[in-house]
């Protein structure tokens, strides 16, 4: 067998090929589903001008994909744990293609001019696409060795800001030309194509052997002729092997990561949902220019995720890197609030790009820590719980921040956003935990 060098970390050449194939296809799937999830935020100007939605109502529509994900993330994670990443990933992508195709049908029928039908179909698309979050995280963490896992997860997590950047550039002109119909038509085709590609190209990573109790028949045979008694079989309610124990009962590590990540997602969703309208309303930018700034911010965020993943592989502790990222997110979010006080479009663009990058840099770090702390048989469910908490909070950011902006303006709203990562820094655990 063609074996790689020990420094490579892979047991053989085939494992390396399958790992990188899973990373590429998983990242593409995450990018496309992110366009589905983040794209509605860039429909807000259209919904306000053409459909007469209020800012809070438009923000609710933009957050409805995240709301839909809340109800299925843990379920998809359990499917990935029990049935494999390939099945969960493909089923979710094809279901997302069907949900966005329903959006095409409803748009052509003129049924999406009211908030409730639009929110419903977007929530359905989010619920279907949620499979990608847990399944791609599991498949990447499962194939890559620990020495490369943070970098690989950082690369996979680049897909989310890249998808948001594509949505920022693609959706506004598409909406101007075709309304919501074009958004649903394009996303349906993309989800169908990548769903088929993942079914053909993804291979589930190997799973650790399950610890088994001794077979009474073996004990019987081994003791024959020696007068040994056959030991009584273990009762059905006996304690599970160590590698199957619930990691949430072992310590508070996972719960603290979940809580910190839920707070850290507030600036991320705030900038992704209201970044475009903030640049337009507070800095007087045209929609096209603002879209380019948002796209640049998301590209910077993709680079930040990859860089932090690599740093976490080199650093003594992933959670220490996570805490530092939280501090930066706090300071930079406060700078966004300060810039909101004046008309400084160039400064505002630079601050927004850097703050947006900091707001998304934590995701890969947190998911890698969760995959390692949860162990193989719990990682899918734990990633589902992680993303559920984030999307519950994220779904509330749209309407809550919309009301806050309407009542107190952007400076106060963005200052409130800066408080969340400050609180998160105190919840980050002090040291890493790793289970098999």
pLDDT per position as a tens digit, 160-207: 878 888 888 888 888 888 888 989 999 999 999 999 999 999 888 887
Region 89-95: what's the mean pLDDT?
Answer: 94
pLDDT of residue 269: 87
Q: Where are the alpha helices (DSSP H) in 202-317?
A: 216-223, 247-250, 253-283, 287-314
C-alpha to C-alpha distance for 133 and 26, rounded to whole angstroms:
9
Instruction: pLDDT band for 226, please (50, 70, 90 cuts).
Output: very low
Beta-carbon contacts of residue 240 (< 8 Å; ≥ 6 apart): none
Beta-carbon contacts of residue 280 (< 8 Å; ≥ 6 apart): 45, 286, 287, 290
Of 211, 210, 229, 233, give the one whose Cα is nearest residue 220.
229
Phi, psi torsion values for 4, nearest 5 degrees = -85, 170
Residue 180 near residue 43 (C-beta atoms within 8 A): yes
CATH class held by domain 9-205+249-427: mainly alpha
**Structure confidence by residue, pLDDT tens digits, 255-278:** 999 999 999 999 988 998 888 889
Rg (CA), the chain: 23
Of 286, 270, 416, give the one whose Cα is nearest residue 345.
286
Residue 352 near residue 270 (C-beta atoms within 8 A): no
Residue 99 near residue 190 (C-beta atoms within 8 A): no
pLDDT of residue 389: 85
Q: Where are the alpha helices (DSSP H) in 202-252?
A: 216-223, 247-250
C-alpha to C-alpha distance for 342 and 365, rounded to whole angstroms:
35
C-alpha to C-alpha distance for 209 and 206, rounded to whole angstroms:
9
- Higher per-residue pLDDT: 250 or 332: 332
Residue 139 near residue 147 (C-beta atoms within 8 A): no
pLDDT of residue 237 exceeding 80, the answer is no
Instruction: pLDDT band for 295, please (50, 70, 90 cuts).
Output: confident
Looking up tokens 């791609």, which residue turns up? 136
pLDDT of residue 422 exceeding 70, the answer is yes
Looking up tokens 């190209």, which residue turns up? 201
C-alpha to C-alpha distance for 113 and 43, rounded to whole angstroms:
13
Across 19-23, 47-51, 69-73, 406-410, least confident range = 47-51
Please report, in angstroms and rounded to a whole number, the separation of the first and last CA atoms in the chain: 26
Phi, psi torsion values for 434, nearest 5 degrees = -140, 130
Tell the burial category of 242 from Cβ atoms under 10 Å away from its Cβ (0-12, 13-18, 19+): exposed
Region 206-217: what's the mean pLDDT?
Answer: 50
| DSSP structural state of residue 315 | S
pLDDT of residue 238: 32
Q: Quick check: helix, strand or coil at residue 203?
A: coil
Q: Where are the alpha helices (DSSP H) in 109-179?
A: 115-129, 131-143, 146-157, 159-178
Looking up tokens 């193989």, which residue turns up? 376
pLDDT of residue 82: 82
C-alpha to C-alpha distance for 352 and 358, rounded to whole angstroms:
10
C-alpha to C-alpha distance for 110 and 282, rounded to whole angstroms:
33
Residue 58 near residue 47 (C-beta atoms within 8 A): yes
Instruction: pLDDT band for 234, please (50, 70, 90 cuts).
Output: very low
C-alpha to C-alpha distance for 60 and 44, rounded to whole angstroms:
10
C-alpha to C-alpha distance for 105 and 184, rounded to whole angstroms:
9
Looking up tokens 């085709």, which residue turns up? 189
pLDDT of residue 243 exceeding 70, the answer is no
Beta-carbon contacts of residue 190 (< 8 Å; ≥ 6 apart): 32, 35
Beta-carbon contacts of residue 259 (< 8 Å; ≥ 6 apart): 389, 424, 427
Residue 161 near residue 391 (C-beta atoms within 8 A): no
Across 41-55, 223-237, 241-255, 366-380, least confident range = 223-237
């Amino acid at each position: 067998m063609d074996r790689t060098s020990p420094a490579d970390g892979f047991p053989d050449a085939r494992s390396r090929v399958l790992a990188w194939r899973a990373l590429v296809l998983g990242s593409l799937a995450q990018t496309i589903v992110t366009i589905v999830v983040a794209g509605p935020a860039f429909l807000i100007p259209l919904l306000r001008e053409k459909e007469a939605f209020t800012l809070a109502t438009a923000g609710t529509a933009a957050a409805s994909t995240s709301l839909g994900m809340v109800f299925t993330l843990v379920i998809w994670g359990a499917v990935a744990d029990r049935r494999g990443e390939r099945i969960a990933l493909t089923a979710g992508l094809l279901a997302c293609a069907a949900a966005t195709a329903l959006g095409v049908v409803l748009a052509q029928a003129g049924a999406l001019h009211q908030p409730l039908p639009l929110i419903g179909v977007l929530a359905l698309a989010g619920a279907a696409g949620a499979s990608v979050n847990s399944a791609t995280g599991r498949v990447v963490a499962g194939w890559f060795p620990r020495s490369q896992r943070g970098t690989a997860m950082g690369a996979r997590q680049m897909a989310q800001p890249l998808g948001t950047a594509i949505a920022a550039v693609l959706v506004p002109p598409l909406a101007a030309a075709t309304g919501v119909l074009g958004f649903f038509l394009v996303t349906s085709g993309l989800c169908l194509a990548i769903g088929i590609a993942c079914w053909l190209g993804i291979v589930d990573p190997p799973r650790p052997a399950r610890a088994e109790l001794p077979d009474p028949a073996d004990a019987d045979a081994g003791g024959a002729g020696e007068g040994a008694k056959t030991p009584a079989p273990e009762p059905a309610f006996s304690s599970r092997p160590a590698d199957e124990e619930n990691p949430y009962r072992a310590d508070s590590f996972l719960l603290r990561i979940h809580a910190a990540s839920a707070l850290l997602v507030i600036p991320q969703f705030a900038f992704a949902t209201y970044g475009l309208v903030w640049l337009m309303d507070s800095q007087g930018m045209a929609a096209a220019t603002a879209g380019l700034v948002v796209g640049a911010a998301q590209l910077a965020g993709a680079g930040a995720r990859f860089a932090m993943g690599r740093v976490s592989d080199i650093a003594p502790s992933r959670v220490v890197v996570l805490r530092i990222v939280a501090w930066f997110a706090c300071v930079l979010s406060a700078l966004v609030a300060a810039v909101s006080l004046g008309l400084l479009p160039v400064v505002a663009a630079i601050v927004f790009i850097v703050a947006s990058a900091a707001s998304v840099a934590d995701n890969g770090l947190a998911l890698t820590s969760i995959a390692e702390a949860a162990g193989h048989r719990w990682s899918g469910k734990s990633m589902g719980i992680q993303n559920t908490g984030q999307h519950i909070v994220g779904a509330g950011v749209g309407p809550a921040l919309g009301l806050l902006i309407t009542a107190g303006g952007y400076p106060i709203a963005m200052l409130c956003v800066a408080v969340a990562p400050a609180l998160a820094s105190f919840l980050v655990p002090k040291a890493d935990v790793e289970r098999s």
